[in-house]
Structures are given as structure tokens and as C-alpha cells.
Structure 1
Amino acid sequence: MARNVEIKARLTKRSELEDRIVPIADSGPIVLKQIDQFYRVAEGRLKLRQINGEHAELIFYRRSDAAGPKTSDYSRVPIVHPDQLSQLLTSALEPLGIVSKTRTLYLVGQTRVHLDEVEDLGNYLELEVVLDPSQTEVEGSEIAKNLMQTLGIRSEDLVEGAYIDHLTR
């Protein structure tokens, strides 16, 4: 499984944050319209993601729901027929809900910086420090913390859980 270290924070001043990201970004912005269908599984999370109505992938991941840097172990598989897979998964598993968002993606070093506008929730920042196999979780957490400091993200801005948790409460 691949690994990353993630944080999620609520945003109040998206444009100001974007002004801090642009000068340090290696690439971006890339705008992605994502629709994630979540399904109940015994452990972790399973979602079928459709991207810009053109691509799809099935994603399984495990991570803590704590606020602050946390490790996520994940697997992704490209999907050719997302509508048929959605029907199959809905027949076999309990659907939990759908998260629709517009994601603006920047890359800063090995970190994916996501500015997410989540339908019915608002604006969020996600940092995903993609770890290479030789890196420790501690190293990834330090990278995330340093980038949080550079971007002015405070610990009180951090949120727990996944977007689906906030939508289904």
C-alpha cells in the first residue's frame, strides 16, 4: 500500500491562502471536479471517485480520524466503467453517502496541496505528504507541520475525520 501523511483544515480566507501557495508551488493550479461515493466496509474507508466526468478510481484507505498530521495507507485502482461498478457496489455494500467537491490542486515538493470547495460544507485545505518507501511517518509529519507554518494554518483550524463524516452527522 502507498502511504501519505495528511492534514485537513477549515478555511476562512481561501484567497489569502492561495496567494501564499502560488509562489512556492512547483505546479498547479489544476481544477478537478470530484464526486466520491462512500461505502461501508469492515475497516477503513472505500470510495468510488469520479473525476471531471472523465476518469474514475476505486480507493481504499485506512487512517486515524484525529485532527493534525496522520498517516494514511491507501490503494487506488483505475476504473473503466464507474457507473456499472457503482451499481455493483451499491448492491453488495451499504452506501454511506456522496461527497461532491471542486478541488484545486497544487504540488509543493512531495506534497499535494488541495483547496477543496465541498458542497454543503464549505472550504477546506488538505495537505497530503506522499511518502516514498524509505521515509518515516515522523518525516512526513515534519514536512506537513513545516508547510502548515509556511501557509499560516493554525492547529485550531484542523478538523477530524473525512468530509463524509461531516456530511452525515
Structure 2
Amino acid sequence: MQRLAAKPARNTAWHVGSVILFHGETVKIVAGVESSSVTFADQTVWVSETGDDVRPKIERHMRSLAAVELPARTFSFAQQHGLFVKRVTVRNQKSRWGSCSRHGTISLKWRLIHAPGFVDDYAIIHELMHLRQMNHSAKFWQEVENVCPDFREAERWLKAHSGLLR
């Protein structure tokens, strides 16, 4: 998949009152959860602490959500399109949204959890189509377009928001 576009970096710290992206929607960080958990509800991310930087705690939670959601979607799409995926890993890739090995292993950047569903779907489909074409030839892009007709819109979204997803 194409490398991340050079965009301004996201804010380094998140505080109570900060606004972040989750599944393509802006959510506000609010203090008030009694336990040590992080909870997403009604365009709000609830955290227990009000310290200087709640980002690490929220990102750990988001990463664990991505580790469940992204593989499930990948295996579902693979089955729909008659493709065999051996394994899906969710990682903190620095320069790519995803990758695909010849052996059927797909790796996805956990930060895709910030993006809307159609963008996640595109990233997954892009990698799945590499199981048919291990290149970025015209035939590859035709495979992507056949399965994901709005892929250009997803690419535009990624390009416009990549600085927030690093």
C-alpha cells in the first residue's frame, strides 16, 4: 500500500477536553469513569484519570480494539472474495497502512481504528488484492476497483488525515 503522505504530525499529548478521531468520528475526551478502563460512548471517550497526558492509556485501548476489529473484517472480506488469509497481524507500522506477504499474512496499522469504516475496508481490500496480484500494476488496481469502487475517496481521506493517524 502507498506510503503515508507527509503531513503535519498529530498533537503529542491528549488531555481531558481534547478531541480525537475514532472510527472517523470526532470524540471528546472526558474524565469520569470510576474504574481504570477507557470507554467509548456517544461521541465521548471516558477516562478515569485527568493527568497531564491520557494518550498512552487511550491508545492502548484503541490498539486492543483494532487487534479484534481489523482481523475480523479481513477474514470476512477474504471469505467473501474466495481468498485464503493465513494470518492477520495488527502492528504499529511507521510508513504503511498495511502489507501483504506471498504466504498469506496481512499486516495492518492499528491506527486505522481512527478512520471511518470505508477507509478501513479499502486498506483491507487493498492488501487482500495483493493475494491476486503482488504488485501495483493496472490489473491490481482493477481488482481493487472491482471490489471497492470508492477506493479513490478512501485514498483521499487517508491523504488528508494521515498526519492525525501517526
Fold conserved between structures, TM > 0.5: no
Higher helix share: 2
Larger Rg: 2
Q: Which has the higher contact order (CA 8 A, sep 6+)?
A: 1
Question: What TM-score comes out, normalization by structure 1 length?
Answer: 0.31
Higher strand share: 1
